[in-house]
Amino acid sequence: MSEMVDRTEILKNKRLILEMKNMHKTFPGVKALDAAQLSLREGTVHALMGENGAGKSTLMKCLFGIFDEDEGDIFFDGKKFKVNNAKQALDHGISMVHQELNQVKDTRIMDNIWLGRFPKKILFVDEDKMFHDTKEIFESLDINLDPKRKVRTLSVSEAQMVEIAKAVSYNSKVIVLDEPTSSLTEKEVSHLFRIINNLKDKGAGIIYISHKMEEIKVISDEVTVMRDGKYIATLNSHEVTTDEIINLMVGRDLTNRFPPKHNEPGEVILEVKNIRSLVQPSVVDASFELRKGEILGVAGLVGSRRTELVETIFGSRHMEKGELILHGKPISNKHPEEAIKNGFALITEERRETGIFGVSNVTFNSIIANIGEYVKGPFLDEKKMVVDTDWVIDSMSVKTPSQKTTIATLSGGNQQKVIIGRWMLTEPEILLMDEPTRGIDVGAKYDIYELMIQLAEKEKGVIMVSSEMPELLGITDRILVMSNGRVAGIVDTKETTQEEILKLAAKYL
């Protein structure tokens, strides 16, 4: 108890570095912010939580100059603060690491970090200074990357570390991290937390947006909850329970994080025999079976080739050797179009790059995978397109002003719901899901879990890649563990442990 009192007193004595008061923002058809507020103390981590569409990202984009609020005041370092664009925010010492990384992938790491402010030697870029300055930041953050390496070659976690280093390069007093651990392993999360604590010690204030309850309790000092664009509460992270946070987020009791399962896996629906992908890094002689009505999880560390496995099955990666047998008959998914005809659907990990058509509306993004169903001679059946898009919006609980809304303007979670609904319209036999709940709030996760169970109850097969161990243990029937491109083992979910899964994940390293 005394330790908790000490923490509370220390927190109270820290200076407020940022205050956002009475923030309002309206888009056509939706009130994104309704008297929202947030206060951040220096040298602390402040978690910002809420369901998808709660207004978290909109609030931060107002702070960062991406959106212009309709009403409200921002105070930074005790002074009224207003910026018109992201560059001005950065110049003032406010940085934001977005969930969907925006990087120039065909350039070097150090070019990305110093883009728009290259150090100069007379009229030319000072390459030596840029290299050494980047190295110095990396060393302070314990990041082991070559500054001259191309961004395109980085893993998701490495690219994220580069963005954090870029934020630090601005000597930022406030750093916003939006779902920073959504693609990281436990080891990488530990590394990130060390970096965050290091920044705290230097007096920086961190705004930490995440849906992962376990992380919030570990890394944050305070937590602010938003719902439907409104401010709900700010609490001491060490005094509030996970259930209390969830109840504030969703406005109702959500005692169980996973729905009850009634599916009964039956006979084998899909056989995968000794498949090897041609493109490096490759899957190596992977074999397994998927049963009717089964949810098969795929676990493994970053670099284990989980994504490559589902992409090879779907035809996104060329299969060099091996065999796919569906309902007892050999099939050939040489490309995604053929896989779709064979009854496969793939929800990709990177929704912004390979999931959504960002400049198109919700209707287009809902019906594109099933476009053949709407062709009537030289025309499209627009009435059926409207009906099916309504089904996607209603069944997936998508928060959108209308079908004609550009999908890129929706929250990440709502974009994901549209993608899932899109594939449901194809009525797949086999649903491949690569990190389907990444960046999704607890309420929306529950909806997706229910959908997976419903598909399994209809004797469909579901293969789900996930980096979240509680999710794998809570929703699957069996778990396939990948290690360095190989199947290290398959375990029964009810009988396994996290320790057994992690041991298998390291089997071929």
User: For the chain, which residues make up each domain, given as ranges?
Assistant: 2-31+43-212, 268-343+428-505
3-state class (DSSP) for residue 467: coil
| Residues forming a β-bridge with 235 | 223
Four-residue CA torsion sign, 423, 429, 432, 436: positive
The DSSP bridge partners found for residue 46 are: 207, 222
β-sheet bridge partners, residue 178: 209
Q: What is the pLDDT of residue 3?
A: 52
Buried b (16+ CB within 10 A) or exposed e, 191-203: bbbebbeebbeee
Give the Cα-Cα-Cα angle 354, 188, 41 (nearest 5 degrees).
100
When pLDDT is averaged across residues 72-81 and rounded to a whole number, the result is 92
Residue in the structure block whose two tokens are 């191309």? 150
Report the distance separating Cα 499 and Cα 507, nearest Å. Answer: 12
**Mean pLDDT across the chain:** 87
Reported as a pLDDT band with limits 50, 70 and 90, residue 253 is low
Q: Write down the pLDDT at residue 254.
A: 55
Residue with tokens 């007379």: 122
- Predicted confidence at residue 29, as pLDDT, reads 67
Phi, psi torsion values for 232, nearest 5 degrees: -105, -50
Question: Do the domains 268-343+428-505 and 2-31+43-212 match in fold?
Answer: yes
124, 73, 53: which is closest to 412 by C-alpha?
53
Q: Average pLDDT, stretch 104-133?
A: 90
Mean per-residue pLDDT for 269-288? Answer: 89
For residue 252, what pLDDT band results from cuts at 50, 70 and 90?
low
Residue 178: the pLDDT is: 86
Cis bond before residue 281 (omega within 30° of 0): yes
Query: Would the pLDDT of 5 be above 70?
Result: no
Q: How many residues comprise the chain?
A: 509
Q: Give domain 2-31+43-212's CATH superfamily.
A: P-loop containing nucleotide triphosphate hydrolases (3.40.50.300)
pLDDT of residue 98: 80
Two tokens, residue 213: 């309850």
Distance CA 346, CA 310 (A): 8
pLDDT at site 54: 82
Whether residue 302 contacts residue 482, with contact meaning beta carbons closer than 8 Å, is answered with no
Predicted confidence (pLDDT) per residue in 318-370, tens digit = 999 999 999 999 999 999 999 999 999 998 887 767 778 888 899 999 988 88
Fold of 268-343+428-505: Rossmann fold (3.40.50)
Average pLDDT over residues 127-133: 94
Q: DSSP 3-state assignment of 227?
A: strand
For residue 8, the surrounding DSSP H or E stretch is helix 2-12
pLDDT at 121 over 90: no
What is the per-residue pLDDT for 499? Answer: 86
Which DSSP letter does residue 441 get?
Answer: -
Task: Identify the pLDDT of residue 233.
Answer: 94
For residue 488, the Cα-to-chain-centroid distance in whole angstroms is 26
C-alpha span between 435 and 257 (Å, rounded):
17
d(CA 257, CA 369): 31
CA separation for the pair 63, 398 (Å, rounded): 26
pLDDT in tens, 462-476: 999 998 888 899 999
Which tokens belong to 270?
């899909």
Q: What is the dihedral of CA 147, 148, 151, 154, to 10 degrees?
A: -70
Task: Determine which of 168-177, 403-412, 435-444, 484-493 has the lowest per-residue pLDDT on average.
Answer: 435-444
Query: Could you read off the pLDDT of 133-188 as tens digits, one per residue?
Result: 999 999 988 888 999 999 999 877 788 889 888 888 888 899 999 888 766 767 77
3-state secondary structure of 61: helix
CA–CA distances in Å: residue 441 to residues 54, 230, 323, 466, 470: 10, 16, 37, 15, 15
| CA–CA–CA angle 178, 437, 394 (5° rounding) | 110
**Cα 469 to Cα 40, 183, 216, 437, 487, distances in angstroms:** 31, 13, 16, 13, 18
**Phi (first) and psi of residue 125, to 5 degrees:** -70, 130
Determine how many CB atoms are found less than 10 A away from the CB of residue 393: 21
Three-state secondary-structure class, residue 319: strand
The confidence score (pLDDT) of residue 7 equals: 65
Q: What is the dihedral of CA 353, 195, 197, 209, to 10 degrees?
A: 0
Q: Residue ranges of the alpha helices (H) in 141-287?
A: 156-169, 186-201, 213-219, 242-250
Is residue 211 scored above 80 in pLDDT? no
pLDDT digit string, tens, across residues 9-27: 777 778 899 999 999 998 8
- pLDDT for residue 28 is more than 80: no
Q: What is the pLDDT at residue 17?
A: 94
Return the half-sphere exposure (C-beta side, CA atoms, 13 A cut-off) of residue 121: 6
Do the Cβ atoms of 355 and 347 come closer than 8 Å?
A: yes
pLDDT value for 6 = 62
Cβ-count burial 74-95 (b if 16+ within 10 Å, e if not): bebeeeebebeeeeebbebbbb
If one counts every other C-beta atom within 10 angstroms of the C-beta of residue 225, the result is 25
Q: How far is CA 323 from CA 269, 304, 332, in A?
A: 14, 21, 8
Q: Check: CB of residue 504 under 8 Å from CB of residue 488.
A: yes
Task: Note the pTM of the prediction, 2 decimals.
Answer: 0.64
Average pLDDT of span 391-418: 86
